[in-house]
């Protein structure tokens, strides 16, 4: 069975950076499309189901934050943001609108490849995890149902739209209910980070996940419990 080639949209207003990223990513076997501004990037990302969008924050016209925000309203395509050094506020904004990860400029091409592979590995893990969990691919709690084969989450009788990373985080916690995971463990196992990463990434995704669940089921939102000084767990036993 031939492997499907992952297709990535590279968005940056600097041709030099697009060319560099294209060269390194194509060397890894990915198909690359390009866009040099926010409007054309959003149009392409809406028209085609990319496996990943590599998105610069600082773009002429519509910036990367707005592109990600609009894309998230319609699709759950993984997004890897490019931010300039020191622009912490942009990284936080990126996570708030649903970015899966970020790379700081000036970047190491090796780190970009590492993060791209980590995101693609997680977002394509459904088949493997479904085989692994076998007949338990649907996890049911009183206020929350996770259908892993379909990547579908229902709370309070309503289906919730989650980004790939939000879904992976919820599923990871749900597989081991009442077990406490440190933020370091979650960063390593959900994000596949060994050496890179920011612990606030975990906090931001937990916050977004709770907010989405709370809109349809406060009971489901309360299941994601903070264990102060340690980490998080999905609490089902009282």
**pLDDT tens digits for 101-126?**
888 888 888 889 988 988 887 666 44
Look up the pTM and report it. 0.65
CA dihedral 99, 103, 104, 105 (to 10 degrees): -110
What mean pLDDT is reported for the chain? 84
Give the contacts of 70 (CB within 8 A, at least 6 positions apart).
42
Confidence of residue 166 (pLDDT cuts 50, 70, 90): confident
In this prediction, residue 128 carries a pLDDT of 38
**pLDDT tens digits for 147-165?**
887 778 999 888 888 887 8
**pLDDT tens digits for 29-73?**
999 999 999 999 999 999 998 999 999 999 988 999 999 989 988
């Amino acid at each position: 069975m031939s492997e499907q080639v992952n297709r990535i949209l590279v968005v940056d207003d600097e041709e030099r950076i697009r060319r560099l990223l294209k060269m390194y990513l194509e060397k890894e076997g990915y198909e690359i499309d390009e866009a040099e501004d926010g409007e054309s990037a959003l149009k392409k990302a809406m028209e085609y189901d990319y496996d990943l969008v590599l998105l610069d924050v600082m773009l002429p016209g519509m910036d990367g934050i707005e592109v990600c925000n609009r894309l998230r309203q319609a699709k759950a395509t993984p997004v890897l943001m490019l931010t300039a050094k020191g622009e912490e506020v942009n990284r936080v904004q990126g996570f708030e609108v649903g970015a899966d990860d970020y790379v700081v400029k000036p970047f190491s091409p090796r780190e970009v490849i590492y993060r791209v592979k980590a995101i693609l590995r997680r977002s394509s893990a459904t088949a493997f995890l479904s085989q692994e969990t076998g007949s338990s691919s649907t996890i049911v709690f009183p206020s929350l149902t996770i259908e892993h084969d379909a990547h579908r989450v229902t709370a309070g009788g309503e289906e919730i739209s989650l980004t790939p990373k939000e879904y992976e985080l919820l599923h990871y916690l749900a597989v081991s209910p009442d077990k406490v995971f440190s933020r370091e463990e979650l960063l390593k196992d959900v994000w596949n980070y060994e050496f890179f990463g920011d612990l606030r990434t975990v906090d931001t995704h937990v916050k977004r996940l709770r907010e989405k669940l709370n809109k349809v089921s406060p009971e489901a939102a309360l299941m994601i419990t903070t264990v102060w000084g340690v980490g998080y767990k999905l609490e089902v036993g009282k």
